[in-house]
Chain A
């Protein structure tokens, strides 16, 4: 490593060396500090230039932002962002009736607001629960309509981004109590309960989500009494609930395992019964510890909701697929995919950064005897 010698008048000297000299120093230590690294740097720069220049040409220089069909785009040779402009509302909201589009838009705003609030402001568990529960319930009500002069919209027409959001939060929300019982059950000393919990968790963790979706959409109608039908959306929701429930259960079990025996013993010594002990002492701690894991599972869940396209329900990806079939926009699939990718990336990246900062603040805040 190079010896950077400082002068006695270190500050002045540094300032005089100037930006160029300091950048060269930085480049020397970080980019060219060995033969191998220098080769790698040059190779990567070459690749970036080879790939980035045509990409920028396509995406920005030659692209068309306003047009009626893709003839103009083809003429320009670049990206067809006009496709997004013209079809943006369809991509986001699907076949939701036109005049009522403000309702799904409001749902998106509600979710964005809840996410921002959860990550910025320190809220107690109870407030968080009420906010999200209320938000989801309100969103579902908004989507359904049928009151306050808003026309009723059947679930078939719930498409696009609000659908992904509702499936994720609804799925994880309903899955949460299931997961708690499964996690507690798995640690129970009663063999029957333990085996039932293990069977549930291992079954749904061991099979792909798509099979669970098939199972729900195809088998549920068979299991219900003749003549009783549930809309496909709710069948898919059941699938997501059961599936996410098993992963959430494992995350909670991880939190339960970390709680020292002393907590259980202290509660027992005070004469507190099992259910009170679990509700007041064990679960609050277990849930707090497993929050990063739970958030990560929700992020995966959000990405997994895209699978609903395969069973014929149109979420964001489904909308993009069907929009691309419109004859005027035949060639615009890269733009559509970029749009979807950008939305998912923005949400997931934001949530995973949040989860990392949660992890850091939780590990700092954990109390206990002085650790050497």
Chain B
């Protein structure tokens, strides 16, 4: 709000008091608060530079080019202790992002299933999911992560006696090992066949919708789509003689070789985050579906729509509007909670940053980087949600 100084002076000349003018007041408050904050910041900065000089701590971001000198057990890009601090941070950031992405996908699937199960007509299923949700929501996440970690690290047997929970999938105290298919030529053709299937599904869906608009006849688009996406790759697979060689994890000496091996820390973090966040997502889904007023289901039923049609055409579109905003909060929460990795020894972004902070003593720079990165992620997700909200808002007067 711009202040019309002339106006307030005129007011003063007319016998009014300028300091009671709301415009002057507002300017005063604003200048005052900015001044206080600036003064505080300046005071802290001064103290910090004095203290850091005394303790011989360097300042500036030059440390990022220095040699790191510490190991990182889980690295998605090549890394060795001879690499720079900057690269170490990158490794940590990638770990965080992978955990967050995989975690969000798994949480969505598991949480939605749990939420629907909470509304099931089966009493036993309702009770079991209720207790699951209550236990995971009312205990601290750090405790849950530590329990998962101990389960996978201490309770799990050594590789020689590893638990085989499914054929060729082993859990031992060195981690979770599972097989991956060996790359074979036919696989490329299978991928091509699947892509063709997806395109065909889109075309069929469009044709079916247009036919329904014209003649009213309905078509089982979903079933057809599943068939189109699954059958062609299967056909290619069989035609090529069913080449499926698995790179199976096998005991070699003291540990497994082959396949993919996930460290116990990574597995604990992932499972712990998914198990915890799904409980919250389940509640969001449940209350979202219940938020759609019962009258909507009644009116749709009264018109003759079947239960499946009522769900698909009336209830779910409205429920999704209510569900998505808190869901994105949970995604953000999961990403931030992945920082608890520092408590179970997994090298995520915060862990690596913490190590660097302790080694170089340059706390201010490291924490600034930390907060800047997380802020960017948060603001990106918030902005995306705002756009989505504007787009989906129910049109009202």
A residues sitting closer than 8 Å to B (CB atoms) are 30-31, 33-34, 37, 40-41, 44-45, 48, 189-193, 196, 202-203, 205-211, 214-215, 218-219, 221-226, 299, 303-304, 306-307, 309-310, 317, 333, 337, 340-341, 344-345, 348-349, 352
Q: Judging by beta carbons under 8 Å apart, are B33 and A196 in contact?
A: yes
Q: Judging by beta carbons under 8 Å apart, are B357 and A218 in contact?
A: yes
Q: Which of A30, A206, A340 contacts B143 (CB 8 A)?
A: A340
CB neighbours of B121 from chain A (8 A): 30, 33-34, 37
Q: Which of B138, B339, B379 contacts A344 (CB 8 A)?
A: B138
Confirm or deny: B65 has a beta carbon within 8 angstroms of a beta carbon on chain A: no
B83-91, B105-113, B234-242, B366-374 - interface stretch: B366-374
Confirm or deny: B164 has a beta carbon within 8 angstroms of a beta carbon on chain A: no
| Number of residues of chain B lying within 8 A (CB) of chain A | 54
17 cross-chain CB contacts under 8 A = A30-B121, A37-B125, A44-B125, A190-B29, A191-B30, A207-B336, A208-B336, A210-B350, A211-B367, A215-B367, A218-B357, A218-B363, A226-B51, A306-B143, A344-B138, A348-B137, A352-B138
Q: Which of A41, A206, A225, A309 is most buried by chain B, counting CB atoms within 10 A of its CB?
A: A206
Confirm or deny: B231 has a beta carbon within 8 angstroms of a beta carbon on chain A: no
Min distance, Cβ B328 to any Cβ of chain A, angstroms: 13
Given contact pairs A40-B122, A190-B26, A215-B371, enumerate 8 new A-B contacts (beta carbons under 8 Å).
Answer: A33-B121, A41-B122, A196-B34, A214-B354, A214-B357, A219-B367, A223-B44, A226-B51
Considering only residues 142-180 of chain B, those with a C-beta below 8 Å from chain A are 142-143, 146-147, 150, 154
CB neighbours of B139 from chain A (8 A): 303, 341, 344-345, 348
Confirm or deny: B311 has a beta carbon within 8 angstroms of a beta carbon on chain A: no
| Complex CA distance for A267 and B141, rounded to whole angstroms | 45
Q: Judging by beta carbons under 8 Å apart, are A226 and B50 in contact?
A: yes
| Complex CA distance for A224 and B357, rounded to whole angstroms | 19
Q: Judging by beta carbons under 8 Å apart, are A207 and B371 in contact?
A: yes
- 3 tightest Cβ-Cβ pairs between the two chains A and B: A206-B378, A192-B30, A348-B138
Known contacts A206-B375, A304-B140; is A211 also within 8 Å of B1 by CB?
no
Q: Judging by beta carbons under 8 Å apart, are A317 and B140 in contact?
A: yes
| Complex CA distance for A97 and B284, rounded to whole angstroms | 46
| Complex CA distance for A34 and B339, rounded to whole angstroms | 44
Nearest A residue to B36, CB-CB:
A196
Q: Judging by beta carbons under 8 Å apart, are A307 and B142 in contact?
A: yes
B residues sitting closer than 8 Å to A (CB atoms) are 1, 26, 29-31, 33-34, 37, 44, 47-48, 50-52, 54, 120-125, 128, 134-135, 137-143, 146-147, 150, 154, 336-337, 339-340, 342-343, 350, 354, 357, 363-364, 367, 370-371, 374-375, 377-379
| Complex CA distance for A11 and B154, rounded to whole angstroms | 60
Q: Judging by beta carbons under 8 Å apart, are A189 and B34 in contact?
A: no
CB neighbours of A33 from chain B (8 A): 121-122
Known contacts A203-B371, A208-B337; is A193 also within 8 Å of B140 by CB?
no
Q: Judging by beta carbons under 8 Å apart, are A337 and B337 in contact?
A: no
Q: Judging by beta carbons under 8 Å apart, are B375 and A211 in contact?
A: no
Nearest B residue to A302, CB-CB:
B140
Q: Judging by beta carbons under 8 Å apart, are A337 and B146 in contact?
A: yes
| Complex CA distance for A47 and B142, rounded to whole angstroms | 27
Min distance, Cβ B381 to any Cβ of chain A, angstroms: 9
| Complex CA distance for A41 and B143, rounded to whole angstroms | 31
| Complex CA distance for A37 and B124, rounded to whole angstroms | 9
| Complex CA distance for A349 and B363, rounded to whole angstroms | 38
CB neighbours of A341 from chain B (8 A): 139, 143
| Complex CA distance for A262 and B98, rounded to whole angstroms | 50
CB neighbours of B50 from chain A (8 A): 226
Q: Judging by beta carbons under 8 Å apart, are B363 and A45 in contact?
A: no
Q: Which of B30, B34, B363, B379 contacts A206 (CB 8 A)?
A: B379
CB neighbours of A48 from chain B (8 A): 128
Q: Judging by beta carbons under 8 Å apart, are A333 and B154 in contact?
A: yes
Known contacts A203-B371, A222-B48, A226-B51; is A208 also within 8 Å of B143 by CB?
no
| Complex CA distance for A210 and B337, rounded to whole angstroms | 9
Q: Judging by beta carbons under 8 Å apart, are B339 and A202 in contact?
A: no
Q: Which of B26, B122, B135, B357 contacts A345 (CB 8 A)?
A: B135
Nearest B residue to A211, CB-CB:
B370
Min distance, Cβ A283 to any Cβ of chain B, angstroms: 19
CB neighbours of B51 from chain A (8 A): 221-222, 226
Q: Which of A44, A208, A226, A309 contacts B47 (CB 8 A)?
A: A226
CB neighbours of B367 from chain A (8 A): 211, 214-215, 218-219
Q: Judging by beta carbons under 8 Å apart, are A31 and B124 in contact?
A: yes
CB neighbours of B48 from chain A (8 A): 219, 222-223
CB neighbours of B340 from chain A (8 A): 208, 210, 307
Min distance, Cβ A194 to any Cβ of chain B, angstroms: 10
Nearest A residue to B122, CB-CB:
A37
| Complex CA distance for A309 and B135, rounded to whole angstroms | 22
Q: Which of A41, A221, A306 contacts B142 (CB 8 A)?
A: A306
Q: Which of A192, A210, A218, A344 contacts B342 (CB 8 A)?
A: A210
Known contacts A210-B342, A226-B51, A337-B147; is A40 also within 8 Å of B142 by CB?
no
CB neighbours of A344 from chain B (8 A): 138-140, 143
Min distance, Cβ B303 to any Cβ of chain A, angstroms: 21
| Complex CA distance for A348 and B144, rounded to whole angstroms | 15
Q: Which of B141, B142, B337 is most buried by chain A, counting CB atoms within 10 A of its CB?
A: B142
Q: Judging by beta carbons under 8 Å apart, are A30 and B370 in contact?
A: no
Q: Judging by beta carbons under 8 Å apart, are A224 and B141 in contact?
A: no
| Complex CA distance for A344 and B37, rounded to whole angstroms | 38
Min distance, Cβ A372 to any Cβ of chain B, angstroms: 13
CB neighbours of A206 from chain B (8 A): 374-375, 377-379
